[in-house]
Amino acid sequence: MGGEYSKISALSQKAIKDSKYQYPKIQEFARKLAEPIQRKATRESVWHFNRLPLKDKINFLKILLGYDKKLELLTIIVSQKDILSYSNDKYDSLVTGKVKVEAKAIKSKSYGIFINGNLVLRVQSSFTNGVGLSPFCQRAFLTNI
């Protein structure tokens, strides 16, 4: 696009994100090019996840939850009043045994991974700076645990 927009490309990700309201072309670019990628990635992720055998779905969940017998991770939760810490083996009961594990679209750019109908992870398709001018990613968020 040239002009003042060529200066934007040299900015940091944060500066680009902060500039998106000053430069309508950035928002237009994101809507035109980035949002279709997010929607397609969400649809494809749901489709591919649901095609996996149950064992592979459970192994994928264990990776996302940080559960690995060889390398135990520690989870620390800080609230206004307490600091809780525990080993992620707490999640073992969520991802073993006879269960139904499936992915379902929640919105056009996010989907959930459900265990026996309960939402466990929400996965958001986005770009690292939220504008569409940065690397694509999918972020997973724990829910209802």
Q: Distance between CA 18 and CA 48 in Å, rounded?
A: 35
Residue 113's pLDDT is what?
92
Provide the pairing of β-strand 110-115 with 101-107. antiparallel
Q: What is the pTM of this model?
A: 0.68
Q: Taking 60 as the threshold, does the pLDDT of residue 1 lie above it?
A: no
How does DSSP classify residue 96?
S
How does DSSP classify residue 21?
T
Decide if 104 contacts 79 (C-beta within 8 A).
no
For residue 42, name the pLDDT band (cuts at 50, 70, 90).
very high
The mean predicted confidence, pLDDT, of the chain is 77
Tokens in use for 45? 């992720």
Looking at residues 97-109, what average pLDDT do you find? 86
SS3 95: coil
C-alpha of 16 from chain center? 21
